[in-house]
């Protein structure tokens, strides 16, 4: 099976190394040279895009996550069975999927009729991510999802919880996307506004992905074009 691995945190981020580990080193990495968190589905059409070939299995792209998917499929001409994006350092839950470059990379793949899975890791303030543990959980989830029939126009969004060290492995829950908005709170600083919304205090639909992940479970949501 050929897999394309990408992300929005950049090719040198620990999350994409954890994703590589989760798939047993089988993937071809085509990822941004620099971080592009929160870039949504932005693509580059007005400037040159530099491609750095680091090896036969690793390409650093001076573009966005969606650019990486496009280039992997239509310039590098890989024919993957799946495009995998992540593991993002931070949740991509509910309304986040419209802002997320991690999710956009997979959405772009699905537009080109290639199935995809986006994986993110919620972060609790003051706690470091255990990337080895994240890789193990991701391997379990990918094994489950990649056996499922692929519905045209659909893709998977996965969010790992942030648990205390030594906690039991989390339950895997398939759930809907939360429909609540992100906190819209600002602090006035002269003629400027500073965003001060607190991500963990966002509103939750009971049983939807935000609620599931914040409750310490792996949230899996099927999204559609």
How many percent of the chain have pLDDT more than 70?
A: 100
Question: What CA–CA distance (Å, rounded) separates 26 from 210?
Answer: 31
pLDDT of residue 72: 98
Helix-strand-coil percent breakdown of the chain, rounded to 5?
25, 25, 50
> 215: pLDDT confidence band, cut at 50, 70 and 90?
very high
Stretch 28-34: mean pLDDT? 98
Average pLDDT of the chain, as a whole number = 97
CATH, domain 3-224, list 3.40.1210.10, 3.20.20.70, 3.40.50.1100, 3.40.50.2000: 3.40.1210.10
| Rg value, the chain, Cα | 17
Residue 135 above 90 pLDDT? yes
Q: What is the DSSP letter of 217?
A: S
Mean pLDDT of the 201-216 span: 97
- How far is the C-alpha of 182 from the C-alpha of 202, rounded, in Å? 6
Average confidence (pLDDT) over 6-15: 98
Please answer whether residues 100 and 209 qualify as being in contact, where contact means their C-beta atoms are separated by less than 8 angstroms.
Answer: no
pLDDT-derived band of residue 220, with 50, 70 and 90 as boundaries? very high
Per-residue confidence (pLDDT) for residue 111, from 0 to 100: 98
pLDDT for position 62: 98
Q: What span, in angstroms and rounded, lies between the C-alpha atoms of 153 and 25?
A: 27
pLDDT of residue 182: 96
What value does the mean pLDDT take over residues 156-170? 97
Give the relative orientation of helices 14-22 and 131-145 as an angle to the nearest 10 degrees. 50
Q: How many CB atoms sit inside 10 A of residue 89's CB?
A: 22
Show the 3-state SS of 79-102: CCCEEEEEEEEECCCHHHHHCCHH
Beta bridge partners of 60: 31, 52
- Distance, in Å, from the CA atom of 100 to the CA atom of 90, rounded to the nearest integer, reads 10
Higher-pLDDT residue of 149, 78 = 78
Query: What is the spatial distance between Cα 117 and Cα 141, in angstroms, rounded to a whole number?
Result: 10
Question: How high is the pLDDT of residue 28?
Answer: 97
Using pLDDT thresholds of 50, 70 and 90, give the confidence band for residue 1. Answer: confident
**Enclosing H/E stretch for 142:** helix 131-145
Using 50, 70 and 90 to split pLDDT, how confident is the model at 150? confident
Q: 126 or 117: whose pLDDT is higher?
A: 117
E strand or H helix that includes residue 103: helix 101-111
Is there a contact between 105 and 69 (Cβ–Cβ < 8 Å)?
A: yes
């Amino acid at each position: 099976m050929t897999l394309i691995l990408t992300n929005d945190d950049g090719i040198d981020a620990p999350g994409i190394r954890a994703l590589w580990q989760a798939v047993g080193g089988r993937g071809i990495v085509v990822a941004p040279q620099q971080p592009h968190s929160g870039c949504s589905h932005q693509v580059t059409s007005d400037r040159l895009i530099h491609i750095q070939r680091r090896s036969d299995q690793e390409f650093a792209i001076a573009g966005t996550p969606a650019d990486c998917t496009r280039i992997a499929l239509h310039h590098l001409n890989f024919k993957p069975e799946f495009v995998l994006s992540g593991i993002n350092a931070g949740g991509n839950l509910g309304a986040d999927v419209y802002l997320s470059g991690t999710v956009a990379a997979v959405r772009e793949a699905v537009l080109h009729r290639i199935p995809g899975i986006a994986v993110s890791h919620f972060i609790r303030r003051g706690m470091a991510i255990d990337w080895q543990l994240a890789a193990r959980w991701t391997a379990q989830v990918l094994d489950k999802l990649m056996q499922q029939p692929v519905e045209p126009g659909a893709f998977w969004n996965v969010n790992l919880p942030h648990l205390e060290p030594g906690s039991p492995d989390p339950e895997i829950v398939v759930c809907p996307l939360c429909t609540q908005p992100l906190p819209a709170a600002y602090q006035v600083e002269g003629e400027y506004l500073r965003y001060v919304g607190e991500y963990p205090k966002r509103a939750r639909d009971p049983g939807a992905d935000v609620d599931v992940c914040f409750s310490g479970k792996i949230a899996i949501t099927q999204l559609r074009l």
